[in-house]
Structure 1
Amino acid sequence: MSGKYKGYSFKPFKAPHTRPTTDIAKEAIFNSIVSRYDIEDITVLDLFAGTGSMSLEFLSRGALKVTSADYHEKNLKYLLDIKKELSVENWKVEKSEVLEFLKYNKESFDLIFADPPYDWNGFHALSKLIPESDTLKEGGCFILEHPKTFNFTGAHVLMSKQYGISCFTFFAKQGVTEN
């Protein structure tokens, strides 16, 4: 982890439905993000937050506000314990199934990160829903972590990067493509 919480050691946490993003992939993702945004100026939504490693990385690097959404009680308790331990005030933790959260959410975010379980059947629906929704601000970016067996194309796709068995596809609110 970089930034404010550099050196913070996560308490051991194991749950069958979590798969934290690797440090190598996380660093590469953040390199791509900082080439587009000043992290201190963005609001972030972390869907399928799991252990909160991406949420904490955004907070540690100075994001204005981070909202983490997850459905599993064990994950939520873990996230709330970390929030309390670190006394983080600009971090909101929500219990919600992702599609329900997106349906009822009234906030807009500059960046949305989603890391669903690899056996989840909603990858394609999510890849279309978020870039076209008001949840993602104009000029915003949606990053979807998914198995490398998925291939996303279309006007909203900026780029895809692969790290091991994982792939990260970046989607734009507008149909801007990467040169």
Structure 2
Amino acid sequence: MRIVSGKLKGRRINPPKNLPVRPTTDMAKEALFNILNHHFNFSELTILDLFAGTGNISYEFASRGTESIVSVDGDYGCVNFIKKTAKEFDLNILPFKSDVFKFIEKHKSSYDIVFADPPYDFTQEQFEKIVTDVLSLNLISEEGMLIVEHSKFTKLEHLEHFSFEKSYGGSVFTFFEFATEDDDDEYDDEDDLEDETYDTEED
């Protein structure tokens, strides 16, 4: 796993092999950030990374200059690895150990981008709950964006505030916005490779 752009471009991240994760592939990650690069100034963003796993997506935002990143995962090993890596690279990432659904219910802040990468074997209902909870509880700002990564077998385009989706290998990114554009051409990218207890603890 490597950081694909920004000040840490090319740096490899080597998480422990026993973490219960499925990191976003470098190909999909690079294509995702090519889309976001056309829409956001990374240095001004606030980010909430749900089901953060190894911190893969959080590191990409931090490498591009984002200084307000909250990473949430329910696994102690993942949270500790994110803390260790953020300290090593001097990145402003705040990790939380929490059940993600409980975190969403209790959290009061809003963000420019909420990225959620649940286990692909979540049920359709669990995926839909992530979307409806994040949007109904206003975890994204009026001009913000929710991005959910999932497999091609999960369908989310029927949900309210759906904007568009992109596929890369076996991964699909579905985008939700309160204020959608009339024309999604601005999101097209020539590099897209289609088909391919609120028990929060800050140890």
TM-score between both structures, scaled by the size of structure 1: 0.92
Q: Identity across aligned pairs (percent)? A: 38
Equivalent of residue 134 in structure 2, options 130, 133, 137:
130
Separation (CA, whole Å) in 1 of partners of 2:175 and 2:111: 15
User: Which whole-Å deviations, capped at 9, do the CAs of 1:106-141 have from their partners, x for residues lacking one?
Assistant: 211000101001112310111222123221111100
Amino acid of the structure 1 residue aligned with 2:65: G
TM-score between both structures, scaled by the size of structure 2: 0.82
Moved more, 11-20 or 131-140: 11-20
SS of alignment partner, residue 3 of structure 1: coil
Q: Which aligned pairs between 1:88-127 and structure 2 lie closer than 5 A?
A: 88=91, 90-121=92-123, 122-127=126-131
Q: CA deviation at 1:34?
A: 1.4
**2:58 aligned with 1:31, yes or no?**
no
Higher RCO (Cα < 8 Å, 6 or more apart): 2
Q: Is the 8 A contact 2:19 2:78 kept in 1?
A: no
**2:117 aligned with 1:146, yes or no?**
no
Amino acid of the structure 2 residue aligned with 1:145: E
Match in the other structure for 1:169: 174
Which structure 2 segments of 5+ residues have no match?
185-203
Separation (CA, whole Å) in 2 of partners of 1:151 and 1:120: 12
Q: CA deviation at 1:16?
A: 5.7
SS of alignment partner, residue 135 of structure 2: coil
Taking a change above 3 Å as real, the CA distance of residues 22 and 178 of structure 1, as seen in their structure-2 partners, is farther
Ranges of 4+ aligned residues in structure 1 off by more than 4 Å = 175-178
Q: CA deviation at 1:175?
A: 5.3
Alignment RMSD: 1.6
Alignment length, in residue pairs?
A: 178
Q: Which aligned pairs between 1:40-119 and structure 2 lie closer than 5 A?
A: 40-88=43-91, 90-119=92-121
Moved more, 1-10 or 110-119: 1-10
Which structure 1 segments of 5+ residues have no match?
none
